[in-house]
Amino acid sequence: MTKAQRRDEKKKEERLLAHNLAEKYRTGKVTTPAKLEDVARLLDGTYSLFHAKPMAETLMLPFVNVQGKAQIQLFSVGQSIPPVKAMPQLEQVMEAICAMELRSKGLKLLAYWPGYGSLTKNQLENMRVVHEANKQFVLVMKTTAWMETVEWTIKDLRAPFNDTNAVTKSEYKGYIETLNLGVNKFENEEVEGYKLLDFRENLWLHSTSVLMAL
């Protein structure tokens, strides 16, 4: 097994453990605050609001607005990994990740903000995943709220959708809440599941979303 294959296998095992842990949070078997790395593993792939949000909500990290660009520093030999106490805003997180990626490969780096402290690239990547998933959860909730305001009659349904006349709003809500918000593959294209939520209201639709919905 190659190094890349071992890395992929380890990632699969970690995601499986994260999914199993998420189910325990969803069913109330675990209530202690989740760790950032566990939540990020859960959300970095296929996930839905129904299965992931209960665990993500237990992440006890306050949001903080850091000011200015991060100072990219070398990780000193023997230096301990800094603990995460708060999450900077997504824009600052992304800016720091991009700045690190411009440096030479193989360097161990830290992003430092005066008054906040330092973060490793892995910590920043975990925060990016959590920030973006929280945005998708908001889209799901906006969609289910919009559905409650929509009314239609059976005669409004046209082929090929007229076989859905017995589907209730509650069932539609269930579909939305269990929708994979991560990447979905359709033939030779990929689309993030949250983009299918563009079907609400009068939002712009792209062809891949329409094809996947059909």
Query: 127-183 pLDDT, tens per residue?
Result: 999 999 999 999 999 999 988 888 877 777 777 777 777 788 899 899 999 999 998
What are 25's two structure tokens? 């949070």
Tell whether the model's pLDDT for residue 209 goes beyond 70: no
Within-domain flag for 56: yes
What does the pLDDT read at residue 210? 57
- Parallel, antiparallel, or unpaired: how do β-strands 87-88 and 63-64 relate? parallel
Domain count for the chain:
3
Tell whether the model's pLDDT for residue 60 goes beyond 80: yes
**Same structural domain, 42 and 70:** no
What does the pLDDT read at residue 211? 57
Kindly state the average pLDDT of the residues 118-128: 97
Is 75 in contact with 110 (CB distance < 8 Å)?
yes
**Same structural domain, 79 and 105:** yes
Tell whether the model's pLDDT for residue 213 goes beyond 70: no
Tell whether the model's pLDDT for residue 66 goes beyond 90: yes
What does the pLDDT read at residue 204? 59
Is 205 in contact with 198 (CB distance < 8 Å)?
yes
What does the pLDDT read at residue 168? 83
The whole model's pTM is what? 0.86
Within-domain flag for 49: yes
What does the pLDDT read at residue 167? 81
**What is the average pLDDT value for the chain, to the nearest integer?**
89
Q: Residue 55 belongs to what domain range?
A: 12-60
Q: 164: Cβ–Cβ under 8 A, 6 or more apart, which residues?
A: 157
**Same structural domain, 120 and 175:** no
Which helix (H) or strand (E) element contains residue 82? none
Beta strands in the chain (DSSP E): 63-64, 71-74, 87-88, 109-113, 117-120, 183-186, 189-192
**Same structural domain, 67 and 109:** yes
Least confident of 4-8, 14-18, 105-109, 153-157: 153-157
Amino acid at 179: L
What is the Rg, in whole angstroms, of the alpha carbon atoms belonging to the chain?
A: 21
